[in-house]
Amino acid sequence: MFEKVNQDTPLAGLNWFFDHAETISEKSIDRIAALGGGVAVQHRMAYQGEYFVERYGAGAAQATPPVKRMLEKGIKVSAGTDATRVASYNPWVSLSWLITGKTVGGLQITPQRNCLDRDAALRMWTENVTWFSNEEGKKGRIQAGQLADLVVPDRDFFACPESDIADTTALLTVVGGKVVYGVGDFAALDDAAPPPAMPDWSPVRTFGGYGNWGEQEGAPLQSVMRRAAAACACANDCNVHGHQHATAWSSKLPIADLKSFWGALGCACWAV
């Protein structure tokens, strides 16, 4: 259909794209590349990876979506949230998932060969996005002539441990050359509190955003597994996997057989 439309009304210059594309095929990647299209992906799998693996298997999750492959094929690919309908507004969670291939619960769903390096991942949230909004050359980079939209993170994104990326917060946020948020050494530059979160029923209005959690708990996303353990319905943790039962369920090893390999080591995930 798209090829037929392109014959009558050329798509060149429209900057058209698909959303999500978690299960896109190699053939479809080639078709989009040939027509000059793009794909906007979201970090849905960072939150729903365990459920995906449980339903479709670990093999199917290894390139869901195949971000690195699409970039290799020359497709324009950006990151985002789908207006927070399928993923959090927090870009650092997305960056952590793109780089590590792990869910927020710690399950390794994407092998390293399909993950991105830090530079490529960061460009998906900055420079790459501008193609989708027809704003190339206007923003997305810190350079003369582009909009002064930037943040100063609370850690070195390129040097910090991978496990720390998701807990990154901003110390300073500048939009259009104006300081809109500042804490710590930059607090004096912030002369007004941010407006209330929208919509008015947003949990952020009650509990605060990621930055607030960080101030209260230090590293909130690193404590996810501890919270999961506390909320787990099983009576006892597994001797092999703790409360990370999804990790065992996604294994190709026969965990359902108490006398098999995992059973011999004391795995009890089969009983959950």
Pairing of strands 150-153, 170-175: antiparallel
Whether residue 69 is found in the same domain as residue 110: yes
pLDDT value of position 265? 42
Whether residue 129 is found in the same domain as residue 12: yes
Whether residue 87 is found in the same domain as residue 24: yes
Range with top average pLDDT, 43-47, 88-92, 240-244: 43-47
Whether residue 110 is contained in a domain is answered as: yes
Whether residue 38 is found in the same domain as residue 106: yes
Q: Which domain holds residue 260?
A: 232-272
Can you tell me the distance from the alpha carbon of 5 to that of 113, in angstroms, rounded to the nearest whole number?
36
The total domain count for the chain is 3
Whether residue 129 is found in the same domain as residue 194: no
Whether residue 225 is contained in a domain is answered as: no
CATH number where 20 lies:
3.20.20.140
pLDDT value of position 271? 47
User: Which three-class secondary structure state does DSSP give residue 166?
Assistant: helix
Can you tell me the distance from the alpha carbon of 167 to that of 220, in angstroms, rounded to the nearest whole number?
7
Pairing of strands 178-182, 76-80: unpaired
Give exposure, 53-66, as e/b (b: 16+ Cβ within 10 Å).
beeeebeebbbbbb
Q: pLDDT tens digit string along 1-32? A: 888 887 888 888 889 899 888 889 999 999 99
Q: pLDDT tens digit string along 113-167? A: 999 999 999 999 999 999 999 999 999 999 999 998 999 999 999 999 999 999 9
